[in-house]
Chains A and B, each alone.
Chain A
Amino acid sequence: MSFIKAIRWMVWKDLITEMRSRETLVSMLFFALIVILVFSFSFSMDHQAARELLAGIIWVAFAFTGIIGLGKSFLAELHNDCLEYLQMSPAPKGAIYLGKMTANFLFMLLAEVVLFPLFIIFFNLDVVEEIWILLVVFLLATEGLAAVGTLFSALTVQIRAREVMLPVLLLPMVIPVMIAAVESTRGALNGEPFALYSQWFHLLGVFDLIFTVVSYWLFELILDT
């Protein structure tokens, strides 16, 4: 089985499982909805305060939602010993990682694309001009979260207290992604000129590149028996 083909099969497998059960996306979306509501209650925001805080709220909601999805990613493989079959499969381990990562990336991105209009509605935003910039931020930051998150999802799935360990391990590691995503989202929402926050795009790009490569390389050690 060729490398690209193995990746494609992994992604297809995850997508088809999700389409039949709808477990991951539904739980992600409802969790995110609750996070948004709790935030809007606890800050009781007027329009001005919302502008300042919103970028942070969006990314905290996205990160927590992503963790829900990432936690489910390898948990699903535990049922019926699927994980052992993945370990035994002749497909290259790197392809399994990239496939899983792509699937996680797609789920997270889909959740973000569904959730962002809710932010627009609830917080009365006006983002017609910056929507493409925001989309690039979402793409880059989600890739970073998925790159480290998929590795850590595999790392924590077979241990006790996995629900606690995934965020405990993941969140400190993705602090650069969070900072860069919040700063560039804030810049875009406030309508600042692109040059003022474009350097965060470089940081996101570098982080994505480094950690996709590092995780790809280390993933083999996780699936090793």
Chain B
Amino acid sequence: MIHRIIKQIQRYKGWVGAGAAVCLLTGTYLGLIASPPDYYQGEVVRIMYVHVPLAHTALLAYTVVFAGSIWYLWKRDRLIDNMCHAAAGLGFLFTGLALITGSIWAKPTWNTWWTWDPRLVSFAILFLILAGYLMLRTFLTEDPDRESRYAAVLAIVGFIDLPIIHFSVEWWRTLHQPLSISTRGVSISGELLLPLTIMSIGFHLLFAYMLMVRTQLLYLDELLQAKKGRLLTQMHLSRSQTSP
């Protein structure tokens, strides 16, 4: 059944990509030109239209990896594993970009590139966990089944660990000093909310599109490798039969 769903999804892939492009272009126009600068932050706030969607998409990507890992361990479907691999790669990319854009935003606003805020630390650790996940997969390529199994185990442990990490860093910081900046107090006005929403939809569509393309690519690559292996075995067999 899952393969039928995937086939349906693949058929509408182009529409998702086009939707992402439309949303991102509209959002960029609204964010950079149409919307006014923020009362407190000035022009700097515009990077938030990229930063916040990136952070959300990164978390979504890791959730996909986690859910997919459990699904893979249950059903042992190669396609699901390829989806996890693809989502982890995208999550790594989005987490990295979220950290970079956050840093650029923090320099004029907080007057520092980096602070040991729980959310920053959790994201940095998420980045490290995803990097470890991808490294593990590259070091295990000779055995695809084991690669998927081990990667799934790692993803599950990391996903359970992430809230505990966040919680412990929060505790650690609040014991030492109160949080210097909290964005929770600042509410967003409608003029700023519209580009943020559109950019957010755009990034989620972009993630969905990239996930589909990448999953397809990994799946086809695996099929190709399998076919190559079979072909080589056949050649080897036919040669050994003809030789005396």
Partner of B128, one of A156, A172, A180, A222: A172
A172 and B129 in contact (CB under 8 A), knowing A155-B153, A165-B135, A199-B171?
yes
Nearest CB of B to A169, in Å: 5
Choose the segment among B2-10, B12-20, B154-162 that binds chain A (4+ C-beta atoms closer than 8 Å).
B154-162
A173 touches B161 (CB 8 A): yes
Docked complex Cα distance between A172 and B150 (Å): 17
A180 and B153 in contact (CB under 8 A), knowing A165-B136, A172-B129, A173-B158?
no
Instruction: Check if B100 is an interface residue, CB within 8 A of chain A.
Output: no
Within 8 Å CB of A221, what residues of B?
73, 149, 152-153
Instruction: Check if B169 is an interface residue, CB within 8 A of chain A.
Output: yes
Count residues of B near A (Cβ-Cβ below 8 Å): 29
Nearest CB of B to A64, in Å: 17
Instruction: Check if B36 is an interface residue, CB within 8 A of chain A.
Output: no
**Which of A148, A214, A215 has the largest number of chain B CB atoms within 10 A?**
A214
Interface size range of chain A in the complex: 20 to 34
Within 8 Å CB of A203, what residues of B?
164, 167-168, 171
A218 touches B139 (CB 8 A): no
Docked complex Cα distance between A199 and B164 (Å): 14
Within 8 Å CB of A210, what residues of B?
160, 164
Instruction: Check if B144 is an interface residue, CB within 8 A of chain A.
Output: no
A215 touches B157 (CB 8 A): yes
Nearest CB of B to A210, in Å: 7
A175 touches B150 (CB 8 A): no
Q: Which residues of chain A in 147-172 are interfacial with respect to chain B, using CB atoms and an 8 Å cutoff?
A: 148, 151, 155-156, 158-161, 165, 168-169, 172
A160 touches B153 (CB 8 A): no
Q: Chain B at the A interface: mostly helix, strand, loop or mixed?
A: helix
Docked complex Cα distance between A183 and B161 (Å): 19
A155 touches B168 (CB 8 A): no
Instruction: Check if A97 is an interface residue, CB within 8 A of chain B.
Output: no
Instruction: Check if A179 is an interface residue, CB within 8 A of chain B.
Output: yes
Bitwise interface map of B from 116 to 159 toward A, beta carbon under 8 Å scored 1, else 0: 00000000010011011001100110000010011011101110
Within 8 Å CB of A160, what residues of B?
139-140
Docked complex Cα distance between A168 and B161 (Å): 15
Q: Chain A at the B interface: mostly helix, strand, loop or mixed?
A: helix
B168 touches A214 (CB 8 A): no
Partner of B125, one of A175, A199, A211, A218: A175
Partner of B164, one of A151, A161, A207: A207
A155 touches B154 (CB 8 A): yes
A222 and B129 in contact (CB under 8 A), knowing A169-B136, A183-B175?
no
Instruction: Check if A56 is an interface residue, CB within 8 A of chain B.
Output: no
Instruction: Check if A205 is an interface residue, CB within 8 A of chain B.
Output: no
Within 8 Å CB of A158, what residues of B?
146
A159 and B139 in contact (CB under 8 A), knowing A175-B168, A214-B156, A221-B153?
yes
A224 touches B149 (CB 8 A): yes
Within 8 Å CB of A155, what residues of B?
136, 150, 153-154
Within 8 Å CB of B52, what residues of A?
none
Within 8 Å CB of A222, what residues of B?
149-150, 153
Instruction: Check if B165 is an interface residue, CB within 8 A of chain A.
Output: yes
Closest B residue to A164 by CB, please name it. Answer: B135
Within 8 Å CB of B169, what residues of A?
175, 179
Within 8 Å CB of A159, what residues of B?
136, 139-140, 150
Closest B residue to A183 by CB, please name it. Answer: B172
Within 8 Å CB of B139, what residues of A?
159-161, 165
A binding-site residues for B, Cβ under 8 Å = 148, 151, 155-156, 158-161, 165, 168-169, 172-173, 175-176, 179-180, 183, 199, 203, 206-207, 210-211, 214-215, 218, 221-222, 224
Q: Which 7 A-B pairs have the closest CB atoms?
A: A176-B168, A172-B128, A169-B132, A159-B139, A160-B139, A218-B153, A176-B164
Beyond A155-B136, A175-B169, 12 additional contacts (C-beta under 8 Å) are A165-B136, A168-B135, A175-B165, A176-B167, A176-B168, A206-B164, A210-B160, A211-B160, A211-B161, A221-B152, A221-B153, A222-B149
